[in-house]
Structure 1
Amino acid sequence: MRVHANNYLLHVIVLLGALLTYPVSSFSSSTLVRLHHNQQSDRRVSQKIYVTKSYDSASSSSSQKGFFWEFQGYPCYAEVVQPFSSTNNSPWNSVLSALSTTSNFATSSKPTVILVHGFGCSTVYWRETKRYLSEAGYTIHALDLLGQGRSFKAGRSSSPPIEYSINLWGQMVDEYARRYIKRDDVVLVGNSLGSLVTLAAATGDWYDAFPEAGEKPYLPSKVQGLCFYNCGVGLNTRNVLKTVPEGFVRTILSLLFDLFDTLIFANKPLLTYLVDNQITKDALRNALTALYACADNPASRVNDELVDSFADPVINDDTEKVVEVISQIYLNDAGKTPMEFHEMYFSGKATSKEETNDDMSSSPFLPLTTNFSMGKRLTRSTQPLPIHLIWGDRDSVTPLTGDVGKFYTQLATSDTTSGDLVDVSMQVIRAGHIPFDERPECNEGLIEWLEQLQQPEKAKYQDQTTTPSSSRWPFGATAQ
């Protein structure tokens, strides 16, 4: 395994500035690949919903609402985007009416889509994905995870105290869906770290970590599919150690991680200095432009809207809160890798409660099969869970040649399911870590996959980075 130290540092530089992004409201089929297999004030709030803005784009067919809802006692930001129907062309009067409208789409054949951002990002960088989906007739919910974007930045000193984890955010996504999405067909879409959050929400994995939550997970029985844009390895980079065999190399890497974390992420005075003095709009623009290098015109994609959404909260917000969230995310337990999620929930090794004589410890899959209705779906091999990946081959943060990329590529090119209870498809394109905004055309792949979830299988796998003539996407034709 190769650890790209320079890429890791680039990630740190970008995400230090990106951690508290500020949502800005704006909007401006290729061959499907198939496989068998503001910030709020410091005070805590008691109301459930806070209207923050109303947005109806004259240049778009969609209607978008932003609002605050309460999770764990803290206000969190979300957006609802719906097609702007000719039969309902009056602006929404309130966010509450928008939310209630979502339940009225229960008869629609199109599933509701939830967008979950990656580390340090927010609803802003989904701008093109929201536009593509809404114009295709989909209702979209985009969330800012607690501690990021416009959502409240709680920490260990908050009341109640917050420990950030993949499972905390998985619970958050599940709770949001329980309150605001009254449908039985939901698709979760995640980027990078957000992909792990969707896995935690779709499987109900978070429930074991928070048994005091009371109600059992809501989403496992509702999820119709998952889509990952450049899936991450965990809450932080420490999960790469799980992919290294025991021995000298792993020991050295672990020591290097310990040293790096001690010098930077456990060093709050240094983090405070970096946030207060080194994060500028120019620095962020340069770093983001490097991440958007495969765009036809990177400078036009990394516009003021995008840069401001990354920079403003870092520059203007309470430094202590910014530092707390950054430090926790890089130092807390990294959670499960995608490979561990698949082994635990999608490997086909699940057994019934009777088969294990009620021994809950004999099968890691058992909590899912006994507690949640998704267990019934997952144990029916004729209806595997569809998982689609769209991956930029020039990604320096989660490279396709890394362990997660190799894992999903292997699934996408395998001739057999090997007993897996998932139906994986994959598209590899000429792009970096944020393909859906860097190369907006790739959102066509998401839409085509959504449209064909119930259709007969197509090709298993396609690399679209060097064969633009085989696709309506121009990837490879202009990128160098």
Structure 2
Amino acid sequence: MTNPNSTKTWIWRGFPISYQTKGDTGPAVVLVHGFGASSWHWRKNISVLANNFRVYAIDLIGFGGSAKPEPNTEITYTLETWGQQVADFCREIVREPAFLVGNSIGCIVVMQTAVSNPDTTLSVALLNCSLRLLHDRKRPTLPWSRRVGAPLLQRILAIKPVGQFFFRQVAQPKTVRKILLQAYAHAETVTEELVDILTAPANDPGAVAVFLAFTSYSSGPLPEDLLPLLPCPAIIVWGTADPWEPVDLGRKLANYPQVLKFIPLEGVGHCPQDEAPELVNPILQDWIWEQTRTIESQTLESNSQVIS
């Protein structure tokens, strides 16, 4: 894969973190991937957004080109941990509050960042937010088969040899392709490059342990926990053909007052930034400029009140 962006390394808590950056003017934008992905999942967005903004795409610890330390001994893989990583990244690398954009589980991460560290975040954009339907508190609402099956599978995968074998099967390119063909509504967007982006980090030391740690993670915040606490505005964009995060459930998140817009993308799957960048990039650009103007107007108004 050729990379037109600048790939850099940041040391966080003693661990190397990989990120991409492009653009040198305008507001700062930080892009946060979902489970099993990386900053490369934003390859169709970074250059376009960099025409107007300073864009950063980070690999969460445990994924992509970032370190994969041992779960529970060196680090705990939780949404709070990742939220703090993004907050520290904004403070140390971006060095100013940023517009945070997430996909899937990355949406929970950026909301956690904003709630725990409000000084780092100007607004959040949520693309097919993970509903965390296998969360402990969600299980009673699931069909009986999933309610019983999910905890059983977690216990089976916790048996180390079984979990390692399962991961090796899932990380095969042919298996990843099948999963992507479920998640993406347009088969032609599931390219060899995309499959390689998702399978390459699976060969890194520690990748198996990270995968198994997250598959057993059924606690932490839900989107409905974080949305009421958001200290900033939010926009939600949702591919309506997402088989994992149903759009009807996603629409309910738009009822929170912090959500100013809910934009459905008809016939698009779970990763709209990659499957339909021609739709997503203009939406993000308009949202960021709109919020920037609002912030500037509020600042002018506040300053004028202080002077008077």
- The TM-score, its normalising length taken from structure 2, stands at 0.86
**Conservation of the 8 A alpha-carbon contact between 1:238 and 1:334:** no
Number of aligned positions between the proteins: 292
**Conservation of the 8 A alpha-carbon contact between 1:285 and 1:302:** yes
Post-superposition offset of 1:303: 2.2
Structure 2 residue corresponding to 1:144, chosen from 59, 63, 78? 59
Structure 2 residue corresponding to 1:74, chosen from 15, 19, 26? 15
1:257 aligned partner:
150
For the aligned residues, what is the CA RMSD?
2.4
Q: Deviations over 1:242-282 (max 9, x none)?
A: 3746xxx788854433212112x313212222333563223
Gap runs ≥5 in structure 2: 295-308
Q: Deviations over 1:282-329 (max 9, x none)?
A: 3322332332223xxx33x22222111112232x333xx222111111
Structure 2 residue corresponding to 1:154, chosen from 61, 66, 69? 69
Q: Residues 277 and 155 from structure 1, CA distance in 2 versus in 1: closer, same or farther, beyond 3 angstroms?
A: same
**Which protein has the larger Cα radius of gyration, Structure 1 or Structure 2?**
1
Q: Residues 154 and 401 from structure 1, CA distance in 2 versus in 1: closer, same or farther, beyond 3 angstroms?
A: same
1:440 aligned partner:
277
**Conservation of the 8 A alpha-carbon contact between 2:254 and 2:261:** no
Structure 1 residue corresponding to 2:158, chosen from 266, 287, 292? 266
In structure 2, what residue type is equivalent to 1:258?
P
Structure 2 residue corresponding to 1:279, chosen from 163, 166, 171? 171
Structure 2 residue corresponding to 1:342, chosen from 227, 245, 250? 227
1:406 aligned partner:
251
**Conservation of the 8 A alpha-carbon contact between 2:35 and 2:105:** yes
Please state if 1:396 is matched with 2:238. no
Q: Alignment partner of 1:453: what SS? A: helix
Q: Alignment partner of 1:401: what SS? A: helix
For residues 311-322 of structure 1, the aligned pairs below 5 Å read 311-314=199-202, 316-318=203-205, 321-322=206-207
Higher helix share: 2
For residues 31-430 of structure 1, the aligned pairs below 5 Å read 57=4, 64-82=5-23, 105=25, 110-135=26-51, 137-156=52-71, 161-183=74-96, 185-204=97-116, 217=117, 220-234=118-132, 237-239=133-135, 241-242=137-138, 244=140, 254-263=147-156, 265-277=157-169, 279-294=171-186, 298-299=187-188, 301-314=189-202, 316-318=203-205, 321-343=206-228, 345-346=229-230, 378=231, 385-402=232-249, 405-411=250-256, 420=257, 422-430=258-266
Structure 2 residue corresponding to 1:449, chosen from 267, 287, 293? 287
- Distance of 1:455 and 1:240 partners within structure 2: 41
Q: Residues 203 and 283 from structure 1, CA distance in 2 versus in 1: closer, same or farther, beyond 3 angstroms?
A: same
In structure 2, what residue type is equivalent to 1:408?
L
For residues 467-478 of structure 1, the aligned pairs below 5 Å read none
Structure with higher RCO (Cα < 8 A, 6+ apart): 1
- Distance of 1:425 and 1:275 partners within structure 2: 38
- Distance of 1:272 and 1:454 partners within structure 2: 47
Q: Alignment partner of 2:122: what SS? A: strand
